[in-house]
Structure formats: structure tokens, C-alpha cells
A and B are shown apart, each in its own frame.
Chain A
Amino acid sequence: DVQMTQSPSNLAASPGESVSINCKASKIISNYLAWYQQKPGKANKLLIYSGSTLQSGTPSKFSGSGSGTDFTLTIRNLEPEDFGLYYCQQHHEYPFTFGSGTKLEIK
């Protein structure tokens, strides 16, 4: 199985700042990498897929980059609604696997 190593596990930032979350695959997955947001009481949300393609409705403050084994989610100009859990997922091969998650908290 492709192991997805996500870092950091926890991240604290202030509104208005920018942050980056990293995801490393245990083998080359081309650009088959997605990012999701999870918040209590809300349905999980697909933000980005295929490495850098914004899902319909995802604000442009979110961006994804990377290819091969190393990927990054960047969020600019943090707002209160951006705080929550973020997961990466490889969609290159079965079984599809997720990173362990990054909890983004308000500083």
C-alpha cells in the first residue's frame, strides 16, 4: 500500500497568515493527490485533486503543488472558517490511502 506521511500533525496560525501542509507518498504517485477539509458538524469537503486542480467552489486562497512523492497544500490569508482538520489522499492506486491529518488551529 502507498503510505502517506503528512506533516505537521498540528499547526497554529493567526488569521491573515499563510500556512503550508505537506504530504509525502512512499512511492511515486504522479500528481494523483487530493486534499480534504474536515470540520465538526459539517460534511467533509474536497478542496483539491490531481495535485493542483481546485474543486468547484474551492476559494483561490487554497493552492496545491507537487508531483511524484512530495506535495504541499498552501492556504493564504487565513480566515476563521479555515481552521479544522486537513487530510491528503492518494488517488493513484488501490487501496486509496489518506495521510494522518493536520489540525490547523487558531493561535
Chain B
Amino acid sequence: QIQLVQSGPELKKPGESVKISCKASGYTFTDYAMHWVKQAPGKGLKWMGWINTYTGQPTYADEFKGRFVFSLEASASTANLQISNLKNEDTGTYFCARQLQLRYVMDAWGQGASVTVSS
């Protein structure tokens, strides 16, 4: 069955970096794009962008340009999200989600990775 398994919770200080992984199984990784979605504590979902898992080309929402980097380890069927120069407002849960083919909707989601930024 299709599974997206994300890395564990992270506690970081402002200014540090974090890398979140999302390992896919149950399908051909490079056949489906991967999206990233943020959920701040007690808030709704916010789309961060997506990465073409065949070409490696990322697309970022304006709010997530600069400190956020999507990358791939295609041989390991893994997508990564790296956030640098962490700020308190980066605290939240980050979801990876597979894109349904031919539609910009997300048909399989990871369990979420919690990032807490606090001094």
C-alpha cells in the first residue's frame, strides 16, 4: 500500500537548520510529484510548494522562498524539506503529500513532522 513516512519531531533554536525527510513506498516515486504543506499549531493548512520528482524541479509559494529547500534522494524514494535560519514562526507540523496525477490535489499524506523552534 502507498505510504509516506516522515522523520521524527525536532526541537531547534532560532537560527539553526532542520531537515525533514519523507520516505515513499508502495508506488514508483518518480511518477508522482510531491507537495509540502505547513500547519502551525492550532491553525489550518498552508501550501508551501511542490517538487517534480522526475526532474527535481521545485516550485515554492512566495512565502516559502529563500529559507526553504525541497530536494530528493530518488534512489531512496525520499523527498526532503530543509529549513535554514529557523524562526519562531516556523514552529508547526510539516506534511509531505503525493500529488494525484493530472490534478494539483494531494491523494496520500505523510503523518506529519513536528518542528518546534524555541530559544
Residues of A within 8 A of B (CB): 32, 34, 36, 38, 43-46, 49-50, 55, 87, 89, 91, 94-101
Q: Please, how many angstroms separate the alpha-carbon atoms of A55 and B59 in the complex? A: 25
Q: Is the CB of B105 within 8 A of A89?
A: yes
Q: Is the CB of A49 within 8 A of B111?
A: no
B97 contacts the other chain (Cβ, under 8 Å)?
yes
Q: Is the CB of B100 within 8 A of A46?
A: yes
B107 to chain A: which residues have CB within 8 Å?
Answer: 46, 55
Q: Please, how many angstroms separate the alpha-carbon atoms of A43 and B108 in the complex? A: 8
A97 to chain B: which residues have CB within 8 Å?
Answer: 47
Residues of B within 8 A of A (CB): 4, 44-47, 49, 59, 61-63, 95, 97, 100, 103-111
B100 to chain A: which residues have CB within 8 Å?
Answer: 46, 49, 55
Tally of A-B Cβ pairs under 8 angstroms: 52
B63 to chain A: which residues have CB within 8 Å?
Answer: 95
B103 to chain A: which residues have CB within 8 Å?
Answer: 49-50, 91
A49 to chain B: which residues have CB within 8 Å?
Answer: 100, 103, 105
